[in-house]
Amino acid sequence: MTYVITTPCIDTTDQSCVDVCPVDCIHFEEGVDKMLYIDPDECIDCGACEPACPVSAIFAEDDVPADQQRFTEINRLWFQDKDAARAKV
């Protein structure tokens, strides 16, 4: 399991979650991306990011709301093909 960043992060890109992540698995390209992304291969499932998010955009993978499920794949995709992920946001 990993954590997933969803819709509320779009156009917010608050970096409070980045500041508390012990393994630096939350990334984005400033000036290019509209949201932040969690690398599912680096995430250690510690959960530190979830309460740090001021817009409640982060969920444990198993708890992602049904209408936000597509962001599980979008977060994963960004680490393989950034342009493809950005096109889906």
| Phi, psi at 74, each rounded to 5° | -60, -40
The answer, yes or no, to whether residue 1 has pLDDT greater than 90, is no
Task: Domain 3-88: state its class.
Answer: alpha beta
11-57: pLDDT as tens digits = 999 999 999 999 999 999 999 999 999 999 999 999 999 999 999 99
Could you give the CA distance from residue 88 to residue 10 in angstroms, rounded to a whole number? 12
Distance, CA of 31 to chain centre? 17
Task: Parse the chain into domains and list their residue ranges.
Answer: 3-88
Could you give the CA distance from residue 30 to residue 32 in angstroms, rounded to a whole number? 5
Using DSSP's 3-state secondary structure scheme, residue 3 falls into: strand
Could you give the CA distance from residue 82 to residue 67 in angstroms, rounded to a whole number? 22
